[in-house]
Structure 1
Amino acid sequence: MDEILTDRAARRREVRRKFIDDAIEYYEDQIGFSISNESQWNLMSAMYYSGTLFTTIGYGDIACVTVAGRILTVIYSCIGIPLMLITLNDLGKFLYNNINGCVKNIEDFGTYL
């Protein structure tokens, strides 16, 4: 790898890219495994991507390639993250009320014993 980076002939971006692609292809041939760079977008990966966006996890293993996709991702995040916070707030209130109701019922039941 140092050879590639220090070689004067590899200073241009396209030449470096070809060297790296050739090195990856050689490596894949040696281990007998090929990594596909093809798009794997389907319903499940889209749901996974949107879930990691609006929960702010953002693993980064799936990302948009096009500029339009990146712009729509920012817009979706600006809308989705606040909606997720509102949903989590409502879920917290729901759980708090139900758990307190259960505790109150258990305490009331204990007074009858």
Structure 2
Amino acid sequence: MIAIWDTRFSVGNALADAEHRQVISILNEIDVACRVGAPPEVMGKALESLAQSIDAHFAHDTPPRSDHLAIAASARRLLEAWRSGTPNALERRVLVNLARRWIDHMGRQEAAQPSQRMAG
């Protein structure tokens, strides 16, 4: 597993918490799929879901934050690298790094602005 949801990650906003949990779940799904050699279709759908979930989460931000844009761009680059057949595109260290950035985002960014999370 890449990460495990913990109540300490909660930002006190049900929508944001659900979106945060979803991204962690998808990262774990991708990790498991890599380990078991899942078919390309499974990997593609999981990576698309990851990029879409992150984009949807950050769509609530007005104006967009640069650190949020960077996380979303990382997820899209991961998807594009996998689609293009880039060797080692899905190395575990890449997934762990994205998860760390996501967890950092949860802890630092969301708790301070719960009203923005309800606007979308």
- The structure with higher relative contact order (CA 8 Å, sep 6+) is 2
TM-score (norm 2): 0.24
TM-score, normalised to structure 1, is 0.25
Larger Rg: 1
